[in-house]
Chains A and B, each alone.
Chain A
Amino acid sequence: MSFGGLHTDHRAIVAVAAIVFFVLTLVMAVLPGLREQAIPASAAAPPRGSEAERGRQVYMREGCGFCHTQFVRDLPMDRPFGRPSRHDDYALEDPPMLGTQRTGPDLADVGTRQPSETWHLIHLYDPRAVVPQSVMPAYRWYFAEKDQAGSGDVVVPVPAGHAPRGKVIVAGPDAKALVGYLLSLKQAKVSP
């Protein structure tokens, strides 16, 4: 096909452009995707319970992944967040939430770094109750403000000044599920 031929043939332009892009799509997206998909999950990865799985849905609903990565790089600055992430860490994640912004800290191993359920509940109710400089949204809609706790209620000990006076803060099901998910985020132990 001559150069001049392409100039006058809209069919040829469209065909060549579409085929080239399609082939590059196969080479750069589909085939590497298939390769990564074939990697099995690490045997050491703990299974995620149904509560944590519901919590993962809450995590996605609230778009937590736009500010929190789950992706530890092999760089000195990432050491506080855990060991470097591996292929098999993500094998069962749908979708894996590596993220592109780290406005808040990485959460790949947050269940190990911060194992306290109470801390997480207070933090979700009002992040500034535990980290004064935080800019994270407060997820109050997952909590109930009650005059008195009922039986079986998970009462959140929010520090004075961060909750309405004379009320007890009770964690709702989604708050508990979300914390269950955060606590499930523990990097599988692997031999280096």
Chain B
Amino acid sequence: MTIDRLAIRTRMRDPGLTAAPSVDPATVRVMFEYVAWATAWLLVGTTAGLIASIKLHWPEFLPFAWLSFGRVRPTHTNVVLLGWSSLVMVGLALYVVSRTSRVPLWSPRLARIALGLWNLAVLGGVVTLLAGVNRGPQEYREWVWPLAVILAAAVLIDGYVAYRTVAARTLREVYVSNWYILGAFCYLPILYVTSYLPFYQGGLGNVVVQGYYMHNAMGMWFTQLALGVSYYAIPRLLGRPVYSYALGVLGFWTNLLFYPLIGAHHFIFSPEAWWLQSTAILFSVGMMVPVWAGTGNLLLTFKGSSGAVRRSYALPFFVVGLIGYGLSSTQGTIEAFRTANIYLHFTNFTVGHSHAAMYGFIVFIAWGAVYGLVPRLTGREPSPLAVGVHFWLALVGILTYVIAISVAGVLQGMAWVAGQSFIVSVTEAEPMWLWRTIGGLLMAGSHVVFAANVWAMRPQRVIAPAPSPQAARVPA
């Protein structure tokens, strides 16, 4: 047992990270297709977000039914969450699974079918939501059920491909990245199906499930995939093992135990059971354990590598993403307290928080991984200048956005607490909404640059047919 553990410690510190000599071209192609489609959805979702943002300080902008605020807003959230963020992370995760298992992806063909289903669902979501066909304002589950079925099928197929790839690994150990990634593929189907089945959602039951669903979609899907990808990409790019393997595993288990308990903190002071709300607040504090275990662990991996960060165009994205993880999660914990909730709930502060987390954490990690991993696979690099432009536009943009919208939220909350006429909260927030659009324009600009960079990284046409998984297996 002791020897076994020692073997794990030494070997796991450098799992699959010592580059295998060849990369299966079929795996590379399918990964790139995920990234490319995700990027297309990023542009669509950004457009929707910008329209929604502009409408708040210019209500007569694009006064058409299909583009009214109440339809564009869910289009924005669903496209950036289920189209862009999910697809880019799944593409990266499938690649990481294959690399850390040192085998080609189990079935690139199935992964490609899943991508098709995924695109179909997101496209259907855009059309139906803009047409006003939805299930009401139930955040991130506004899609009608047939689209949800298509999406669920895509997730299950991708999960199966990831599982079979790990099962076929040539290393004995399951590298920690794969814990997070396989976990994500377990949690999302359970979460998604639970959120759509109606049997326990009458009356406020619906709201209990809403809190559970919209919260866990973040921590049990996006966070899992982002950490899984980070635990591969960061050590790989730095050329050194992760600071502490055990902390990575601790983060995995504590996230699983604490995160699902805290969804009700979105409905504090509601008639929902008080124990549910209190449990949510308590474990929101507990979440500091996995959050800082993950952030600290990955940031400490950088220790003494500031030179590498300066030289790499991918690593700065990771640094921002990890800091974004720690800060936005801490912010979330503070927002869960009842006192903070009085001032901040229902305000734009929540919108700032969700952007800090999804964009400042998940999306920056995704960009770091795309820039860090894709060029070494396709053999094509984007211009470092263009990546720099992307980085700074995105960073200044998100900071402007989050600061503006958080100030708007505080102003709203203060106006309410002061007992002023409701419209005061609108007029006080409105200048900040203009600033939010300015931040959003910078972010949108960075996305266009990113799309051009993705195009620059496209793989060369591969002539040789993809070798079968057996033939291409590389010795460990």
Contacts and interface: CB of A to CB of B under 8 A. Distances in A.
Interface string A75-100: 11100100011111111111111111
B146 interface: no
* Interface size class of chain A, counting residues whose CB lies under 8 Å from the partner chain: 35 or more
Nearest to B7: A4
A32 B260 contact: no
Interface string B1-24: 100110010001000000000000
B270 interface: yes
Contacts of B172: 8
B71 A62 contact: yes
Contact of A7 (B74, B173, B201, B269): B173
Interface in B195-234: 200-210, 212-213, 220
A7 B12 contact: yes
B68 interface: yes
A30 B194 contact: yes
A61 B137 CA distance: 9
A141 B132 CA distance: 13
Interface size class of B (residues with CB under 8 A): 35 or more
Nearest to B159: A14
Given A4-B4, A102-B346, A29 B263 contact: yes
- Tell me whether chain B's interface is mostly helix, strand or loop, or mixed: helix
Contacts of B273: 32, 35-36
Interface string A11-53: 1011001101110110011111111110101000000000000
A136 interface: yes
Contact of A24 (B65, B135, B261): B261
Contacts of A11: 167
A86 B270 CA distance: 8
B408 to A, nearest CB: 10
B373 interface: no
Contacts of B136: 60, 65, 95, 97
B243 interface: no
Interface stretch (B107-115, B150-158, B174-182, B325-333): B174-182
B276 interface: yes
Nearest to B420: A77
A133 B351 contact: no
A21 B220 contact: yes
Contacts of A62: 68, 70-71, 132
Contacts, number: 240
B205 A101 contact: no
Interface string B79-93: 000000000000000
B94 to A, nearest CB: 15
Interface stretch (A66-74, A115-123, A163-171): A66-74
B190 A37 contact: no
Interface in A136-153: 136-141
Nearest to B276: A32
B416 interface: yes
B431 interface: no
A75 B263 contact: no
Contact of B70 (A41, A67, A85, A93): A67
Given A28-B263, A134-B59, A36 B166 contact: no
A4 B201 CA distance: 41
Nearest to B186: A18
A66 B203 contact: no
Given A7-B173, A98-B267, A33 B201 contact: yes
Determine which residue in B71, B137, B423, B433 has the highest number of CB atoms from chain A within 10 A of its CB, and name it: B137
A128 interface: yes
B403 interface: no
A13 B187 CA distance: 12
B63 A101 contact: no
A160 interface: no
Which one of A25, A92, A133 has the highest number of Cβ atoms from chain B below 10 Å of its Cβ?
A: A25
A14 B163 contact: yes
A28 B272 CA distance: 12
Given A39-B204, A80-B422, 14 more contacts: A3-B5, A7-B12, A14-B186, A20-B257, A29-B263, A36-B272, A60-B134, A77-B342, A84-B271, A91-B203, A95-B135, A96-B203, A131-B423, A140-B63
6 contacts: A10-B167, A61-B133, A62-B70, A76-B419, A77-B419, A87-B204
